[in-house]
């Protein structure tokens, strides 16, 4: 009856935002647990490392399906397929660190703890401050593209120093993305909880693996 009444629009928007955030973090928690289970199974059975091209193909293929089906129940299936697949690829990486270092288990736990602190701290700040970080979008996208290409170069040409630099840059970029993605949920830039979950999961995955790589280097691997 009063479609242009701001007093009515604000509570409706607030309820929608609260529901989006609640659904996103609930699904994110479930996918992280499922991914951890997949990684544990991968470690237990000695799942071998996948070729990087297979990992990229599987990731982008499942991401494409998730995006296409994001407004249906099958979108949820795709989310768990994607995060489960990423868990399987993480298992061999964790196995390497656990067996290659005398304190490998501690390194993994430190990376997990650091990831949790960074994610909870930055997302909590974005939620409590209600600041709009959408201005960071262009810079972050360019930075991620450049870092991704540099990472591929470091991997194929075996340049350890460049690989470490890419990991450090990724930590900074993922930290910025936490602020950006959380802000997008608050201010209407992201309205689909499935896609918000995927974005936050990928951020956490990249943040964790980058921290683990740096910790391994400081422990003497590189």
Token representation of residue 67: 């995006």
Q: What is the reported pTM? A: 0.90
Query: What pLDDT, on a 0 to 100 scale, did the predictor assign at position 14?
Result: 80
pLDDT band for position 221 (cuts 50, 70, 90): very low
Query: What pLDDT, on a 0 to 100 scale, did the predictor assign at position 111?
Result: 95
Specify if 148 maps to a domain.
yes
Token representation of residue 5: 């009444």
How far is the CA of 73 from the CAs of 28, 32, 78, 79, 192, in angstroms? 16, 19, 9, 10, 13
Specify if 1 maps to a domain.
no
Specify if 167 maps to a domain.
yes
Give residue-wise pLDDT tens across range 29-52: 999 999 999 999 999 999 999 888
Most trustworthy range by pLDDT among 130-144, 157-171, 199-213: 199-213
Query: What pLDDT, on a 0 to 100 scale, did the predictor assign at position 148?
Result: 87
pLDDT band for position 158 (cuts 50, 70, 90): confident
**Residue 203's CB: how many other CB atoms inside 10 A?**
24
- Between CA 178 and CA 46, with CA 159 as vertex, the angle to 5 degrees is 70
Tally of domains within the chain: 1
What range does the domain containing 23 cover?
Answer: 6-218
């Amino acid at each position: 009856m009063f479609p242009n009444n701001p007093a009515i629009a604000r509570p409706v928007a607030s309820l929608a935002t609260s529901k989006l955030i609640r659904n996103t973090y609930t699904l994110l928690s479930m996918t992280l647990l499922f991914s951890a289970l997949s990684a544990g199974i991968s470690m237990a059975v000695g799942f071998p490392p996948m070729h990087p091209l297979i990992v990229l193909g599987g990731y982008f293929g499942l991401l494409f399906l998730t995006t296409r089906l994001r407004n249906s129940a099958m979108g949820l299936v795709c989310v768990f397929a994607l995060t489960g697949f990423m868990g399987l690829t993480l298992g061999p990486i964790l196995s390497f660190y656990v067996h290659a270092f005398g304190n490998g288990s501690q390194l993994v736990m430190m990376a997990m703890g650091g990831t949790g602190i960074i994610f909870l701290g930055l997302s909590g700040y974005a939620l409590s401050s209600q600041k709009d970080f959408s201005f960071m979008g262009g810079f972050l996208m360019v930075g991620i593209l450049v870092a991704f290409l540099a990472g591929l170069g470091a991997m194929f040409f075996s340049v350890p120093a460049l690989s470490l630099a890419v990991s450090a840059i990724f930590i900074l970029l993922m930290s910025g993305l936490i602020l950006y993605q959380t802000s997008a949920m608050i201010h209407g830039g992201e309205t689909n909880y499935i896609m918000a979950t995927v974005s936050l999961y990928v951020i956490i995955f990249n943040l964790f693996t980058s921290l683990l790589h740096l910790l391994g280097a400081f422990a003497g691997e590189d």
